[in-house]
Structures are given as C-alpha cells and as structure tokens.
Chains A and B, each alone.
Chain A
Amino acid sequence: MLRKLTSYLFILPLMAFLAVFTYVPILQSVNLSFRGWDFMSPMKSWAGLENDQLLLSTRDFWNAVKVTTIFAVISVPLRLALAIASYLVRETIVSRVMRGALFLPSVTSTVSIAVVFSRVFSTDYGMIHAGLAWLGIERVQWMQNPQLALYVLGRRRAAVPRLPAGDPAAGDAHHLLPAVGLCHRRLSRFSPSSTS
C-alpha cells in the first residue's frame, strides 16, 4: 500500500507542472477562442463561433492551410523513411552514430539551427552559394523567392528568423502581413462607424 503511494508521489511533481502549464492552458485556449478579447479590457465578451467564421473567410487563412499541407506532405514521409531506414539497417558502429545524428536535431535549440541555416542559405555569403558559384551557377535567392522559400525552410521546421515575405515587387502588402489584415478587419468591425 505504501509502495503504491510512493509511485503516486513520484509522478506528482511532473503531473502538477504539466497540469498548470499544459493541460489547463489548453482548456483556457479553447475557452478564449470563443471570446472577443483584445488582451487589455477586463471584459471578455462571448463571441461564439465568430472568430472561426472570420478566419474561414480570409484568404490568408486558406493560404496558411495550403502551405501547411504542402509542408506536411513533403516533410513527414521523408522523416518517416529515415526512421524506418535507421530501424532496418544492421546494428554497427556507423548505424549507431547515424542514429545519434538523426536524433540530434530534436534536442538542438531551434534558434541555433535557424542561425546556421540562414547562413547556409544566405544569398551572397551562403555555403550553398559558394558551391554553386564554383560550378559557375548564378546565385539563387533561396529565401527571397516565394516559390522556393518553403522548400528551403522545409529542411528544418520553419524557424528561420528572416521570414520569407511575399515578393515585395508584386506590391501585395496584404500578403506580407497576414496579421495586419486580420487586425484591420477586426478593428473595423468594432469601430463606431461600423456599429452605427
């Protein structure tokens, strides 16, 4: 009996931390998603499904869905293939080192990965550019080209600080800052002119 109690006491700290910082916040998130709130006012008015309706009606949301889908379809099978391959090979020293190398990204800080890869894919000073220049290939704007950027970032999770914005030459400012577009709609909905 005492032994059983010990087990519960052992897992108690972890479960308590997870409850406070993961489980409860998830429920809070769900609750907040049904409310109209600007982070400042004490009132959190009930909005029901309005937030979701607003999202579904924006172009930016569907663009994000599209990009996420492409990313998942390409990235997940590649990782799965690597995982299966590392399971199937014979157990040697090389395969052990490889397995460690495959796991390393999971425990590496995203910030350091982002910094390294923004250097690797830098247009002017990048390693890849250096290699291609040696072969006589023109420089490629890896992270500035809207068609290319997603596939470059897909090598790691999209964590590069200099985010690939849409082509500025196209003048599509709405596309550059999806959040601004959303905020704008939201504000105009609550401004006096629209309520009258």
Chain B
Amino acid sequence: MTKGGPAGATDMIANMLYSVGFTLFDIGQGSALAVILFVFLIALAGIAVATMAAYAFARDRFPGGNLAFAAVVATLMIPSHITRIPNYLTLAKAGLLDSYAGLILPAISSGFAAVFLRQSIRDIPRAG
C-alpha cells in the first residue's frame, strides 16, 4: 500500500522483490530475493512442524506414539521419486502449480528433520 515506505519501514521481502524486479528491472536480484524468501519459509515452517512432533516423540509416551514414529522413520527409506507424480497431481488439483505455496508445502513435511531432532531432544537432560 505504501510501497514499502515510509523509509523502508514496511518493506518486507515479498514487497522488495517486486520493486527490485519490476521497478528497477534488476531481475537477477529479484530472483535472488525470491530464492531467499523461499528458503526462509521452508526452513522456518519445516523446523516448526518437525520440532513439535520431535518433542512429543522424544518426551511423551502415548498410545500409538511408537507406531507413528515408525511411520515417520519409514518415510526416510522411501525414494522421493515415488511421490513425485501424485504430488504434482495433488498440487494441480489444488491450483497451486507455479506458486510459492506449491513449492513450499511439499517440502515442509520432513521426516528427516523430525527423526534427527527427536534424537537431539532425547540427549537434553530433563529438568527435575
């Protein structure tokens, strides 16, 4: 609305991306910003989701917990190519092709991160 002004006070990455890319026509820098935004979002969302699950797996005992954890570990052994085509179809059906969401959503669910975070959380001694 204020085009990132006054004096850059509201200039978020997504906004800056457009101004750099299409006002200054520096497409290279605009693309670099897009990649940075993309990586940030995947990292933050992925870590948030994985840490929550990892904490529950590491510290809580609940019925079905071990089974669920086994299901997460099992995803580590599945080649990602198997899910490629169905994922494309899912995203196409949801109308998310050619969008950031279409790239970010499938990358958030990381069994890898969850398993490794669980191990690290287990290493932290309990307080009291």
A4 to B63, CA, bound (A): 9
Task: Choose, from B10-18, B21-29, B65-73, the stretch at the interface.
Answer: B65-73
Q: How many A-B pairs fall under 8 Å by CB?
A: 81
In chain A, positions 1-53 with a C-beta closer than 8 Å to chain B are 3-4, 6-8, 10-11, 13-15, 17-18, 20-26, 28-29, 32
| Chain B residues positioned under 8 Å from A20 (CB to CB) | 90, 109
Interface of A, helix, strand, loop or mixed by DSSP:
helix
| Chain A residues positioned under 8 Å from B55 (CB to CB) | 10
| Chain A residues positioned under 8 Å from B60 (CB to CB) | 3-4, 6-7, 10
Residue among B56, B65, B71 having the largest count of chain A Cβ atoms under 10 Å: B56
Interface size class of B (residues with CB under 8 A): 20 to 34
Q: Are A11 and B83 in contact (CB under 8 A)?
A: no
Q: Are B82 and A29 in contact (CB under 8 A)?
A: yes
Instruction: Kindly provide the distance from the CB of A105 to the nearest chain B CB, expressed in whole angstroms.
Output: 14
Instruction: Kindly provide the distance from the CB of A19 to the nearest chain B CB, expressed in whole angstroms.
Output: 9
Query: Which residue of the partner chain, among B75, B85, B89, contacts A18 with CB atoms under 8 Å?
Result: B75
Instruction: List residues of A whose CB falls within 8 A of some B CB.
Output: 3-4, 6-8, 10-11, 13-15, 17-18, 20-26, 28-29, 32
- Pick 11 A–B contacts, CB within 8 A, sort by A: A10-B55, A15-B68, A18-B72, A18-B75, A18-B109, A18-B111, A21-B83, A22-B109, A25-B82, A26-B78, A26-B82
